Amino acid sequence: MIGRLNHVAIAVPDLEAACAQYAGPLGAKVGAPQDLPEHGVTVVFIELPNTKIELLYPLGDASPIASFLEKSPAGGMHHICYEVPDILKARDQLISDGARVLGDGSAKIGAHGNPVLFLHPKDFQGCLIELEQV
**Active-site residue set:** 130
Q: Where are the alpha helices (DSSP H) in 3-97?
A: 15-23, 64-71, 87-96
Q: How many helices (H) and strands (E) does the chain have?
A: 3, 9
8 Å CB contact between 9 and 56: yes
